[in-house]
């Protein structure tokens, strides 16, 4: 008696699996049918990588960024795993949208598959909620400010807005309770709902059978293909292609990770690409005349997105046209095309607007600290984030304090250095060196530290320890005067008692 | 149910079709295997703790300052252990280093007791190499510092002046002034901690030893 027979007799699992895989594919197997299974593959990838991230991630304001940073810099393959999760989210949403579009075009939502369609739209909504809640968890600058925008949108709803906003944040503002809530949603509630509804989606799929090509005659009269192994092979090939792309992106374009959220800093938040269309709608509303702006905002944030989702859910009940043939469904085709044009147009519009604002801001110097520090983390700025460091803003702030050399140095340190080395100079073990008592900082000859400030540092052993992060080069981003002031500051703070450094000494340092 | 409804499976088709299906089935399983492997390796490796990958990173530990008057306190009571509280920087996982409190038992030994100490603690002085390994006793100063953690199962013991010995409240292990085991289930004598006098400043290295074993195995330094 074989092992399989033994198992079969006790569980029935073998025959149930065979039964599940034995399925007609009307018209034969096709690469057109891979979007649903590829979405499920992406979902499984998200669940697996997500589980491994929870072995390190800890939700609270004191640990969210710190534990994410630990995953990035200390955990072996940590950056790879978190980047798989990052790109997996993008893949899952992209595949879901393709799947939805195909079902829409092929009329596969029509009777008897209305409930399957409704569940599918709910799965899309849940996946978007997962994207939104996951965005906050790293607790870096963009996580903080993008979530601030999302929560404020919720608060703009009339009557229930304030309660909704507080319910989402767990309090009057975004804080440690918000992280906990988003964590609970992202890690427990939404994945559980996602898996349960997916099981329902698949059960109904098996009940109704494959929808087949968009034709109006009886599908049973088409030649039938086999689900296993013919369609499964195509599903596997598509999933493999998706996986290969995600892996390559994770290796060559790791997930962005910025400095820790700092509500006192100015920062231009940018949403994930799948929310850019909604963000664009909000921007359009912001440009309407003052008088109608409250109404326009309400339309942009609640009414239009809400109506769109409601319409999607109700689609099989509104569209009673029994035909699935494209040529007989001009209205649906026209509306789909129109929605696509609007969505893509709004996405491009807000992408360009965000890029422009970020470029302007970095020229003005306002979010300089954030942009500069994000470079510090191995140069992993996201595509949209600005990467230049402005000096204008810093300079003007220094001028207003008008303090002594040390006062100015402290200002520059707070703005440019403290996000990594911390305000107390302690840094972070294994990532950012401690400056207090650091031999290189307090050396009687300051040439070394001047060189480090001017030209950066990477991979050097400091005081017997190695550090994961790179020190960026500041020459050109800070003036010689500023560099001298900040070196003087770090050489005379936190118990350090080394000599001051002059502008001339900084200028004399060469690569 | 689907088995008998499925039309496509009623006819096995030509031998070419059958062998093609076998190939597709194997290819599907192979693709699944490749994806599984590419995922499994980094995911499992990501769970390996830093301490296993580079166990020597913290080896040797660092020196923590004892309170300014610690030596005076210990010296004031020769022959009586003194509990000294101190704090040190301790990095726990991804948290920035934070101040952690600990205590040690400090004992001032007379030259005669130093001789006793060496005699009673063959586990520390059995061979000359061990003296380097456990630099607990500064012979010229005559001080020894003991970890306050019982080598049996990790409880905190205390000096009992009446009984003139250290007694652990959990399972009754007893130790003499020199840290030698007198009674109870403890598998070894008290654990000394590296100690030095740095320009008048007493310093200690906090070491956590594995409990329950006759041999002294270092679990962690800080």
Q: With cut-offs at 50, 70 and 90, classify the pLDDT of residue B1.
A: very low
B48-64 pLDDT, tens digit each? 988 787 766 556 677 88
Is A225–B8 a contact, with Cβ atoms under 8 angstroms apart? yes
Query: Does position A404 have pLDDT exceeding 50, yes or no?
Result: no
Q: What is the pLDDT of residue B209?
A: 87
* E-strand stretches of B6-124: 64-65, 82-90, 98-108
Sorted by sequence, the CB contacts under 8 Å of residue A46 that are 6+ apart come out as A85, A88, A89, A92, A130
Q: Is the ipTM of this complex over 0.85?
A: no
* Cα A272 from Cα A270, distance rounded (Å): 7
Q: What is the pLDDT of residue B136?
A: 55
Q: Min CA distance, A202 vs chain B (Å)? A: 14
Query: Does position A299 have pLDDT exceeding 60, yes or no?
Result: yes
By three-state DSSP, how is residue A107 classified?
Answer: coil
Q: What is the mean pLDDT of chain B?
A: 83
By three-state DSSP, how is residue A386 classified?
Answer: coil
Query: Does position A389 have pLDDT exceeding 50, yes or no?
Result: no
Q: With cut-offs at 50, 70 and 90, classify the pLDDT of residue B132.
A: very low
Q: How far is CA A76 from CA A282, B52, B84, in A?
A: 41, 12, 39
Query: Does position A306 have pLDDT exceeding 80, yes or no?
Result: yes
Give the residue from B202, B161, B196, B193 showing the smallest Cα distance to B73.
Answer: B202
Q: With cut-offs at 50, 70 and 90, classify the pLDDT of residue A173.
A: confident
Q: What is the pLDDT of residue A187?
A: 98
Q: What is the mean pLDDT of chain A?
A: 85
Q: What is the pLDDT of residue A380?
A: 34
Is B47–A240 a contact, with Cβ atoms under 8 angstroms apart? no
Q: Min CA distance, A21 vs chain B (Å)? A: 9
A484-501 pLDDT, tens digit each? 888 888 888 887 888 888
CA-nearest residue of chain B to A248? B38
Q: What is the pLDDT of residue A46?
A: 98
A331-371 pLDDT, tens digit each? 999 999 999 999 999 999 999 998 888 888 777 654 433 33
Residue given tokens 């020196």 in the structure block: B63
Across A167-181, A267-281, A343-357, A493-507, least confident range: A493-507
Q: How far apart are the first and last CA of chain A?
A: 76
Q: With cut-offs at 50, 70 and 90, classify the pLDDT of residue A129.
A: very high
* Cα A265 from Cα A111, distance rounded (Å): 54
Q: What is the pLDDT of residue A508?
A: 81
Contacts of B90 in chain A (CB under 8 A): none
Crossing angle for the helix pair B15-45 and A232-252, nearest 10 degrees? 30
Q: Which of A55, A58, A77 sits opposite B42 (nearest CB)?
A: A77
* E-strand stretches of B33-142: 64-65, 82-90, 98-108
B72-108 pLDDT, tens digit each? 888 888 778 999 999 888 778 898 888 888 899 988 8
Q: What is the pLDDT of residue A57?
A: 97
Instruction: Answer yes or no: are the C-beta atoms of B47 and A63 closer than 8 Å.
Output: no
Question: What token pair was written down for B78?
Answer: 């020769």
Query: Does position A224 have pLDDT exceeding 80, yes or no?
Result: yes
* Cα B177 from Cα B190, distance rounded (Å): 10
Cβ count within 10 A of residue A96: 22
Q: Which of A24, A76, A237 sits opposite B8 (nearest CB)?
A: A24
Average pLDDT (A56-61) is: 96
A502 vs A328, more confident: A328
User: Residues of chain A with pLDDT > 70: what percent?
Assistant: 90
B5-51 pLDDT, tens digit each? 788 888 888 999 999 999 999 999 999 999 999 999 999 999 998 87
Contacts of B50 in chain A (CB under 8 A): 74
Instruction: Answer yes or no: are the C-beta atoms of A86 and A189 closer than 8 Å.
Output: no
* Cα A119 from Cα A200, distance rounded (Å): 8
Is B96–A426 a contact, with Cβ atoms under 8 angstroms apart? yes
Instruction: Answer yes or no: are the C-beta atoms of B173 and B181 closer than 8 Å.
Output: yes
Beta bridge partners of B181: B175
Average pLDDT (A219-236) is: 92
* Cα A229 from Cα A17, distance rounded (Å): 13
Is B95–A236 a contact, with Cβ atoms under 8 angstroms apart? no
Q: What is the pLDDT of residue B60?
A: 63
Is B31–A224 a contact, with Cβ atoms under 8 angstroms apart? no
Q: What is the pLDDT of residue A65?
A: 96
Q: With cut-offs at 50, 70 and 90, classify the pLDDT of residue B125.
A: low
Is A31 an 8 Å CB contact of chain B? no
Q: What is the pLDDT of residue B101?
A: 87
Q: What is the pLDDT of residue A257?
A: 94
Structure letter (DSSP) for residue A256: P
Give the residue from A361, A489, A227 showing the smallest Cα distance to B24.
Answer: A227
Q: What is the pLDDT of residue A392?
A: 30
Q: With cut-offs at 50, 70 and 90, classify the pLDDT of residue B129.
A: very low
Q: Is the preceding omega at residue A115 within 30 degrees of 0, hence cis?
A: no
Q: Is the preceding omega at residue A102 within 30 degrees of 0, hence cis?
A: no
CA-nearest residue of chain A to B42? A77
Average pLDDT (A58-68) is: 95
Q: With cut-offs at 50, 70 and 90, classify the pLDDT of residue A503.
A: confident
Query: Does position A62 have pLDDT exceeding 60, yes or no?
Result: yes
Element (H, E) at A79: helix A78-105
Crossing angle for the helix pair A114-136 and A190-208, nearest 10 degrees? 160
A8-39 pLDDT, tens digit each? 999 999 999 998 899 999 999 999 999 999 99
* Cα B21 from Cα B181, distance rounded (Å): 74
Element (H, E) at A398: helix A392-401
Is A66 an 8 Å CB contact of chain B? yes
Instruction: Give rounded-to-5 percent helix, strand, coil for chain B.
Output: 30, 25, 45
Average pLDDT (A476-480) is: 78
Q: What angle do CA A251, A253, A254 make, to 5 degrees?
A: 75
Q: With cut-offs at 50, 70 and 90, classify the pLDDT of residue B178.
A: confident
Q: What is the pLDDT of residue A394?
A: 30
* E-strand stretches of A160-304: 224-226
A387 vs A248, more confident: A248
Q: What is the pLDDT of residue B217?
A: 82
Structure letter (DSSP) for residue A478: B
Contacts of B24 in chain A (CB under 8 A): 229-230, 232-233
Q: What is the pLDDT of residue A393?
A: 30
């Amino acid at each position: 008696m074989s092992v399989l027979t033994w198992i079969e007799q006790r569980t029935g699992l073998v025959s149930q699996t065979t039964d599940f895989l034995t399925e007609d594919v009307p018209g034969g197997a096709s690469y057109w049918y891979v979007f649903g299974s590829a979405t499920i593959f992406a979902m499984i990838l998200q669940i697996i990588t997500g589980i491994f991230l929870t072995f390190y991630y800890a939700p609270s304001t004191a640990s969210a960024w710190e534990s994410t940073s630990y995953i990035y810099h200390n955990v072996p393959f940590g950056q790879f795993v978190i980047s798989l999760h990052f790109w997996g989210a993008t893949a899952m949403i992209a595949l879901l949208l393709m799947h939805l579009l195909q079902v829409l075009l092929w009329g596969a939502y029509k009777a008897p598959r209305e409930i399957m369609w409704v569940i599918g739209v709910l799965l899309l909504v849940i996946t978007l909620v997962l994207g939104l809640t996951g965005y906050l968890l790293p607790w870096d600058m963009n996580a903080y400010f993008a979530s601030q925008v999302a929560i404020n949108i919720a608060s703009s709803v009339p009557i229930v807005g304030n309660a909704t906003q507080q319910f989402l944040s767990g309090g009057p503002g975004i804080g440690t309770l918000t992280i906990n809530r988003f964590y609970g949603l992202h890690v427990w509630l939404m994945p559980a709902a996602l898996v349960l509804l997916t099981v329902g989606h698949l059960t109904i799929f098996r009940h109704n059978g494959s929808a087949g090509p968009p034709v109006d005659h009886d599908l049973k009269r088409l030649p039938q293909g086999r689900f296993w192994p013919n369609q499964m092979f195509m599903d596997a090939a598509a999933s493999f292609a998706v996986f290969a792309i995600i892996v390559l992106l994770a290796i060559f374009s790791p997930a962005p990770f910025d400095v820790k959220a700092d509500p006192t800093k100015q920062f231009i938040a940018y949403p994930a690409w799948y929310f850019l269309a909604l963000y664009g709608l909000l921007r359009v509303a912001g440009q309407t005349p003052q008088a109608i702006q409250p109404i326009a905002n309400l339309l942009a944030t609640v009414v239009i997105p809400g109506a769109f989702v409601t319409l999607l859910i109700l689609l099989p009940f509104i569209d009673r046209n029994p035909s699935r043939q494209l040529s007989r469904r001009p209205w649906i085709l026209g509306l789909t095309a129109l929605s696509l044009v609007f969505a893509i147009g709004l996405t491009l519009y807000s992408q360009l607007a965000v890029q422009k604002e970020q470029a302007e801001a970095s020229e003005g110097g306002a979010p300089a600290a954030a942009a500069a520090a994000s470079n510090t983390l191995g140069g992993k700025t996201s595509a949209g984030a600005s990467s230049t460091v402005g000096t204008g803003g810093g300079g003007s702030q220094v001028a207003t304090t008008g303090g002594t050399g040390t006062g100015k140095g402290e200002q520059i340190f707070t703005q440019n250095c403290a996000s990594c080395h911390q305000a107390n100079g302690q840094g972070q073990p294994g990532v950012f060196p401690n400056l207090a008592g650091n031999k290189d900082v307090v050396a009687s000859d300051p040439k070394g530290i001047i060189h480090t400030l001017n030209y950066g540092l990477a991979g050097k052993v400091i005081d017997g320890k190695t550090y994961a992060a790179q020190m960026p080069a500041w020459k050109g981003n800070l003036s010689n005067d500023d560099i001298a002031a900040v070196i003087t500051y770090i050489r005379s703070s936190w118990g350090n008692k080394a000599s001051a450094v002059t502008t001339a000494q900084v200028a004399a340092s060469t690569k | 149910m689907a088995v008998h409804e499925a039309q496509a499976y009623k006819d096995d088709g030509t031998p070419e079709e059958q062998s093609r299906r076998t190939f597709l089935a194997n290819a599907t399983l192979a693709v699944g295997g490749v994806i599984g492997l590419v995922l499994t390796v980094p995911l499992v490796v990501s769970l390996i703790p830093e301490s296993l990958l580079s166990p020597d990173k913290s080896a040797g530990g660092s020196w923590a300052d004892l309170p300014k008057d610690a030596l005076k306190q210990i010296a004031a009571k020769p022959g009586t252990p003194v509990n000294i509280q101190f704090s040190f920087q301790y990095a726990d996982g991804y948290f920035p280093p934070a101040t952690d409190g600990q205590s040690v038992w400090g004992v001032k030994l007379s030259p005669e007791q130093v001789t006793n100490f060496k005699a009673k603690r063959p586990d520390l002085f059995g061979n000359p190499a061990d003296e380097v390994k456990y630099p607990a006793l500064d012979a010229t100063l005559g001080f020894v510092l003991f970890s306050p953690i019982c080598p049996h199962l990790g409880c905190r013991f205390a000096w009992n002046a009446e009984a003139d010995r250290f007694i652990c409240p959990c399972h009754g292990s007893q130790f003499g002034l020199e840290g030698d085991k007198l009674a109870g289930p403890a598998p070894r004598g008290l654990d000394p901690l590296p100690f030095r006098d740095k320009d008048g400043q007493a310093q200690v290295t906090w070491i956590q030893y594995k409990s329950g074993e006759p041999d002294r195995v270092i679990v962690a330094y800080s």
